[in-house]
Amino acid sequence: MDLKNYLDKDQLIAKRDQIKRIFFYRVCGTGMGAAACLLKEKGLLVEGGDTQYYPPMSDYLKSTGIVCHKLGEYDAEQLKNFDLIVVGNVVPRMSDDARTIENSGVAFCSFPAALGAFVLKDTNVVGIAGTHGKTTTTYFATQVFESMNQEPGYFIGGVMEGRPSAKLGVGKYFFIESDEYDSGYFEKFSKFQSYEIDHLLLTSVEFDHADIFKDLDAIKSEFRNLFKKIPESIIYSSDYPAIQDLKNENLEHYKKLSWTSYGSNNEIGPKILETS
């Protein structure tokens, strides 16, 4: 693995004014496609490539006007025309694709780092994280603020009927679905670590993604590292013991945060009033 041209989020922030042309390598994933559209909306010149294109993301990309190439038929020398390659986390470490990217001579990064540097660094970010309910809750929060004429920005990990998957917005807040899955073959940490989150809404923490996490403690470690980066507030469900365990660690940084819990045993939050 040759990382001499790899840029992490902080390095990207330092160099972002020098970057104009971006190529999304494996652009047809839900996260990659939505990120490509956000950066295009930001004013960057964006193109992408993938091995196959399938709806609904292929139709979404086409509707945005992003030029998409078929990898395998695309001359790798053309990558040198770009200032940055954003690499999808479907690219394996030991693959011809990884060697092509590394040998291109072009700077490369993950899509979470690109989002953090080009979009999220400059806004008030509300991250919605947790094992369950991220997509639904992000969409719901976006709709609530839209109904109040707040025009928030948002990033949702799915293609939705009648609206784009991501939008810069002009309001005070940017809502982002914040995934705990890793960021790329060269960044084996959770995507949300790069998202510049100011306020966190944590729906749940349970064991998941057994392909990359050894156990629940490994997942809790990612959230613990995230908590250390939050400058403002955390809203969390008290129904999950793993979240309570993290909260009860009472690390020094936690004392600076505003904590609000919700759940079945709290006055705040949705409850199941009746079952049948």
For residue 275, is pLDDT > 80?
A: no
Say if residue 10's pLDDT is above 80. yes
Cβ neighbours of 56 (radius 10 Å):
14
Binned at pLDDT 50, 70 and 90, residue 157 comes out as confident
Residue 55 lies in a domain: yes
Using CA atoms, how far apart are residues 167 and 39, in angstroms rounded to an integer?
10
Q: According to the model, what pLDDT value does residue 148 have?
A: 96
In a domain, 246, yes or no: yes
Q: What is the pLDDT of residue 266?
A: 81
159 and 124 both lie in a single domain: yes
With respect to residue 111, please indicate whether it lies within any of the assigned structural domains.
Answer: yes
Residue 71, pLDDT score? 93
Q: What pLDDT score was predicted for residue 177?
A: 97
2 in a domain, yes or no? no
Q: Using alpha carbons, select from 256, 109, 115 the residue that is nearest to residue 176.
A: 115
Q: 47-56, 137-146, 260-269: lowest mean pLDDT where?
A: 260-269
Do 100 and 133 sit in the same domain of this protein? no
Domain extent, residue 204, equals 119-262
Q: Are residues 124 and 256 in the same domain?
A: yes
**34 and 90 Cβ atoms separated by less than 8 Å:** no
186 lies in some domain:
yes
In this structure, the answer to whether residues 103 and 129 fall within a common structural domain is: no
**Distances from the Cα of 114 to the Cαs of 84, 227, 268, in angstroms?**
10, 21, 36
Q: What is the 3-state secondary structure (H, E, C) of the chain?
A: CCCCCECCHHHHHHHHHHCCEEEEECCCCHHHHHHHHHHHHCCCEEEEEECCCCCCHHHHHHHHCCEEEECCCCCHHHHHHCCEEEECCCCCCCCHHHHHHHCCCCEEEEHHHHHHHHCHHHCEEEEEECCCCHHHHHHHHHHHHHHCCCCCEEECCCCECCECCEECCCCCEEEEECCCCEEECCEEEEHHHHCCCCEEEECCCCCCCCCCCCCHHHHHHHHHHHHHHCCCEEEEECCCHHHHHHHHCCCHHHHHCEEEEECCCCCCCCCCCCCC
**CATH number of the structural domain spanning residue 149:** 3.40.1190.10
Same domain as 106, residue 137? no
Amino acid at 36: A
Q: Out of 62, 97, 117, pick the residue that ends a domain.
A: 117
- 69, 112, 82: which is closest to 21 by C-alpha? 82
Q: For residues 96 and 137, state if they share a domain.
A: no
Higher pLDDT among residues 250 and 137, named by residue: 137
Residue at which a domain ends, from 76, 92, 117: 117
Q: Is 181 exposed, middle or buried (0-12, 13-18, 19+ CB in 10 A)?
A: middle
168 with 203, same domain: the answer is yes
In the chain, the amino acid numbered 94 is: M
128 against 250, higher pLDDT? 128
CB count in 10 Å sphere of residue 214: 10
pLDDT of 243 above 80? yes
Residues 99 and 125 occupy one common structural domain: no
Task: Say which residue the tokens 């002009």 belong to.
Answer: 170
pLDDT at position 1, please? 87
User: Which pTM does this prediction carry?
Assistant: 0.93
- The reply to whether 148 and 254 lie within a common domain is yes
When divided into structural domains, the chain yields a total of 2
CATH number at residue 20: 3.40.50.720
Residue 52 in domain: yes
CA distance 74 to 22: 15
pLDDT confidence of 265, banded at 50, 70, 90? confident
Do residue 142 and residue 249 come from a single domain? yes
| pLDDT score for 123 | 95
Please report, rounded to a whole number, the percentage of residues in the chain having pLDDT higher than 90: 81
* Least confident range of 37-51, 69-83, 139-153: 69-83
* Domain identity same for 17 and 139: no
Residue 129's nearest CA partner among 255, 222, 212 is 222
What is the pLDDT of the chain when averaged over all its residues? 93
Same domain, 105 and 126: no
Q: Is there a domain that residue 99 lies in?
A: yes
**Residues 52-109: pLDDT tens digits?**
999 989 998 988 999 999 998 888 889 999 999 999 999 999 999 999 999 999 999 9
Residue 167: the pLDDT is 95
Is residue 212 assigned to a domain? yes
Spell 115-152 as b/e; 16+ CB within 10 A means b: bbbbbbbebbbbbbbbbebbbebbbebbeebeeeeeeb
- In this model, does residue 203 exceed pLDDT 80? yes
Last residue of a domain, one of 117, 132, 164: 117
